[in-house]
Amino acid sequence: MALYAHIVGWGKYIPENAVTNDDIAKIMDTSDEWIRSRTGIGQRYFAGPHETTASMSIAAARLALDRARIAPSSIDLIIVATLTPEHIFPATACLVQDALGATHAGAFDLSAACSGFIYGLSMGSNAIQSGAAKVVLVIGAETLSRVLDIEDRTTYPLFGDGAGAVVLQAHPTPGGVLSYVLGSDGSGGEHLNIPAGGSKLPTSQHTIDNRLHYVKMNGREVYRFATRVMGKVSKEACERAGVPLNEIDLFIPHQANIRIIESASKFLGISSDKVFTNLDRYGNTSAASVPIALCEAIEQGRVSTNDKIVMVGFGGGLTWGAAVVQWGLPMPYKRRQWWYRGLRWLVYRQARLRSIWLRWRRQIENKLPEDEQKDFLPSKKEAKPKPEKPVKEPVEQRHSDNGRSANGAGKPVEIAPPEPKPEQTVEEK
Ligand code: UT7
C-alpha cells in the first residue's frame, strides 16, 4: 500500500525580546530606512539568556505534537535543521528527544543552513514513504543572535531567532508532501559562512581576535544566487508534483529579503495575495523561517484542506530546495481542550523525570564495583528471554481524537480525500 507523508501538526516558538531597526540603529551605523528599503525587515526577535536552539525547538515541537494529537513515544525520527546547534555534538535533536520523552525515536541534526527545513521535510517524507517511519518530527530552529557580529552592519540587522516544527505522519490518503527538489553548489560556500569553530579553524586566540566565529556574508553574491534559484527550483518541484503553477494556493518562501521574494513570485507568475511573508516582523530566521511562516499562515486562516502549498528555501552551502505539499487536514483547526493540554503537561513532566532517572542511573552505575555493574545492566547473554510483545497497532490507530487521550490512543486524524477533478468534455479535449 502506498504511503503519503502528511503534515498533521505544526508549532512555532518566538522569543519575547523584539529588536526594532531603530534599536539596531542606536548601536551601529545603519537606519530603519536602509534596512526596510533594502530587505523589507522591520524588526526581529533575539533569544533571551535562558533561550537556546534546543529550548525553542522543544517548545515548537510540543505545540506541533499537541496539534497532531500524537504522543512523543510514537515518534520514529526527529530531524532538527539548524546552523546554530546547541553544541557541535551531541545533536540538538537528541536533546529534543530527551525532553519530549520520544523513547522510540532516532534523532539527528541537519546542516543545510537556510534550506535546512526543506531538506528535513524531504528526508522525513522519504522515511515515511519508504515505510521506515510512521511519524517524523521535523524542526527548523536558530539562535542566530549568538553568531552575529555586533560590529558588522552587513549581517547583524538581517537575522533573527526562533523555531518552527511540523509532524509528518504516514497515511494511505494521497496528498501530503507531493514532491521536492534539492540542490547545492559548494563552490559558493565562502559567500555565506562561519569560518571558525570547526575542524578547519578550531577556536584559538587568533580566531577570536579576528571575529571568525561570526556569520560572514557576501550579500550581493547571495542575492544574485537567490534570485536565480528560488523561482527555478519551485517550478521544478511543481513539475515533479504535476501541479501547474496557476494551481498553487500558497507560496511560502524563505524570508530573507522581500526583493528576492518578489523576484521569485514574478518568475512563477504568482499573485502577491498567494505569497506569504512575515520577514517584516521576524527578519531572516534561517532554517526556522519557512516553518514559522507556515505556522503563521495557518493561524491566519490562509491554509485550507487540499490547498497546494509550495515552500522554498536557499542559503549557505550554497544550498536550495523546494517542496510541494497538498494539505490534507480538515481546517480550521480546533484548539485542544484545557484538560487535554493538562494531560500533555503530565506527559512532559514524566519525560523530565525519566531523563533525571537515566542520568542518576548512570551515576550509580559508575560508582558500583565492576562485577556489580554487570548485575545492574545484564549483558545480552545473561538477559532472560523476554515474553513475546504484542504486535504494535499502526500509528494512525494510536492517534487520539479530539483530545480524548494524551497517550496516543484513539481514532486516526482525518485526512480529506483530494477533490475530484471535473471531467473534460469532448469539445474541451
Ligand atoms: O538566508 C540567506 C541569507 N542571505 C540573504 O538572502 C541575503 C541576500 N542579500 C541581500 O539581501 C542584500 O544583498 C543585502 C540586504 C544584504 C544588501 O543589500 P544590497 O542592496 O545588496 O547592498 P550592498 O551590499 O550592495 O551595499 C550597498 C551599500 C554599501 O555601501 P557602499 O559600499 O555602496 O558605500 C554597504 O556598505 O550599503 C552599505 N550597507 C549598509 N548601509 C547601512 C550595508 N549594510 C548596511 C546597513 N546600513 N545595515
pLDDT in tens, 308-336: 999 999 999 999 999 999 999 998 888 77
Name the closest-CA residue to atom 35, ligand 1. 154
Name the closest-CA residue to atom 11, ligand 1. 257
Residue 145: name the closest of 53, 29, 217 by CA: 53
How far is the centre of ligand 1, averaged over its atoms, from the C-alpha of 82 (Å)? 24
Q: Is the pLDDT of residue 135 over 70?
A: yes
pLDDT at residue 427, as a whole number: 46
Question: Which listed residue (21, 193, 257, 284) is catalytic?
Answer: 284
Beta strand extents in 85-244 (DSSP E only)? 106-110, 135-142, 162-171, 176-184, 192-193, 216-217
pLDDT at residue 369, as a whole number: 81
Number of the ligand 1 atom closest to the C-alpha atom of 220 = 13
Instruction: Name the CA dihedral angle for 132, 136, 140, 143, rounded to a multiple of 10 degrees.
Output: -100
Extract the C-alpha cell encoding 416.
480529506
Number of the ligand 1 atom closest to the C-alpha atom of 222 = 8
- What is the Cα–Cα distance from 158 to 300, expressed in whole angstroms? 25
Across residues 269-291, what is the average pLDDT? 97
Question: Which listed residue (254, 257, 295, 399) is catalytic?
Answer: 254
How far is the centre of ligand 1, averaged over its atoms, from the C-alpha of 220 (Å)? 7
Across residues 266-280, what is the average pLDDT? 97
Name the closest-CA residue to atom 44, ligand 1. 154
* pTM reported for the whole predicted model: 0.88
Lowest mean pLDDT across 112-126, 272-286, 397-411: 397-411
Name the closest-CA residue to atom 47, ligand 1. 30
pLDDT in tens, 334-354: 877 888 888 999 999 999 999
Ligand 1 pocket, Cβ-based, cut-off 6 angstroms: 30, 34-35, 38-39, 114, 153-154, 157, 192, 217, 219-220, 222-223, 226, 256-257, 284, 286, 315
pLDDT at residue 386, as a whole number: 59
Number of the ligand 1 atom closest to the C-alpha atom of 39 = 15
Q: Is the pLDDT of residue 375 over 70?
A: no
* Percentage of the chain modeled with pLDDT above 90: 81
Name the closest-CA residue to atom 18, ligand 1. 38
How far is the centre of ligand 1, averaged over its atoms, from the C-alpha of 157 (Å)? 10
How far is the centre of ligand 1, averaged over its atoms, from the C-alpha of 38 (Å)? 7
How far is the centre of ligand 1, averaged over its atoms, from the C-alpha of 107 (Å)? 37
Number of the ligand 1 atom closest to the C-alpha atom of 254 = 1
User: Confidence class of residue 376 from pLDDT cuts 50, 70 and 90?
Assistant: low
Average pLDDT of the chain?
90
Please state the separation of Cα 27 from the chain's center in Å: 31
How far is the centre of ligand 1, averaged over its atoms, from the C-alpha of 217 (Å)? 10
94 part of the active site: no
pLDDT at residue 378, as a whole number: 47
pLDDT at residue 390, as a whole number: 58
Is the previous residue joined to 332 through a cis bond, with omega within 30 degrees of 0?
Answer: yes
Q: Is the pLDDT of residue 405 over 70?
A: no
Question: Which listed residue (6, 21, 94, 114) is catalytic?
Answer: 114
Name the closest-CA residue to atom 41, ligand 1. 30
Q: Is the model more confident about 301 or about 377?
A: 301
How far is the centre of ligand 1, averaged over its atoms, from the C-alpha of 81 (Å)? 26
Helix (H) or strand (E) holding 322: strand 319-326
Name the closest-CA residue to atom 39, ligand 1. 154
User: Confidence class of residue 423 from pLDDT cuts 50, 70 and 90?
Assistant: low
Task: Please choose from 44, 154, 158, 161 the residue to mutate so as to test ligand 1's pocket, defined by most ligand atoms within 8 A of CB.
Answer: 154
pLDDT at residue 419, as a whole number: 72
How far is the centre of ligand 1, averaged over its atoms, from the C-alpha of 219 (Å)? 6
Helix (H) or strand (E) holding 77: strand 77-81
Q: Is the pLDDT of residue 388 over 80?
A: no
Q: Is the model more confident about 192 or about 375?
A: 192
pLDDT in tens, 197-217: 999 999 999 999 999 999 999
Q: Could you tell me what percentage of the chain is helix, strand and coil, using 3-state DSSP and rounding each to the nearest 5?
A: 40, 20, 40
Please state the separation of Cα 65 from the chain's center in Å: 13
**Domains plus CATH for the chain?**
4-339 (3.40.47.10)
Q: Is the pLDDT of residue 91 over 50?
A: yes
Across residues 278-295, what is the average pLDDT? 98
Number of the ligand 1 atom closest to the C-alpha atom of 156 = 48
- Residue 115 CB: number of other CB atoms within 10 A? 32
Number of the ligand 1 atom closest to the C-alpha atom of 114 = 1
pLDDT at residue 336, as a whole number: 76
pLDDT in tens, 219-247: 999 999 999 999 999 999 999 999 999 99
Across residues 151-174, what is the average pLDDT? 97
What is the side-by-side order of every strand in the sheet holding 135-142? Answer: 4-13, 162-171, 135-142, 77-81, 106-110
Extract the C-alpha cell encoding 410.
484513539
- What is the Cα–Cα distance from 176 to 419, expressed in whole angstroms? 14
Q: Is the pLDDT of residue 393 over 60?
A: no
Q: Is the pLDDT of residue 98 over 90?
A: yes
